[in-house]
Structures are given as C-alpha cells and as structure tokens.
Amino acid sequence: MTDEQMQKLAKMLADDLTKRIYGVANGNNESDMTWYADRDDDHAIGELARLMTLLNIYQDREEYEKCHLINKHIKKLEKIVENL
C-alpha cells in the first residue's frame, strides 16, 4: 500500500468516526447509536420524564383526550417508581 493510499484510508476512517461521534451519519442529523439505561429504575424515570413532556405538549395544544391517556400511564409509572 502506498503512502497516498494510506493517507486516503486514514482520512476516510477519520471522517467516518467524526460522523458517528457527532451523529451525522448517512447525511442526516440522526445518530445510529442506541442508548440503554443501566438500571430498570433509570429507564422508568426516563419514561416518566418523556410522558410528562408529552403531557405538557398535549395540554398546550388542548388535546385533552391524549392528556387523559398519558396521565393514566404516568400514574402507573409513578407507582412503579415508588416501589423501586
């Protein structure tokens, strides 16, 4: 392998790693990485935060049927988190 080929390969690898690190793989701003919580209670608290965010969005949009359904899930998760 010539020096020029090695330089080209190194540049391609560096570009690919940079794209993966900054989440711009495949020409978009989405990362291909998936993150998982280390513990079940971390996952439950994260899900609770997600649902509360959705509840706020639906309240702002005055979509009260969705608020009711989300609130049911929030109540279930609050019980789960309390028991952890």
Length of the chain: 84
* Tokens read off for 18: 């940079």
* Tokens read off for 39: 């513990």
Residues of the chain with pLDDT under 70: 22-37
User: pTM surpassing 0.75?
Assistant: no
- Tell me if 67 sits within 8 A of 58, measured CB to CB: yes
Distance, CA of 36 to CA of 52 (rounded, Å): 20
Q: What is the pLDDT of residues 38-58, one digit of tens each?
A: 777 788 888 899 999 999 999
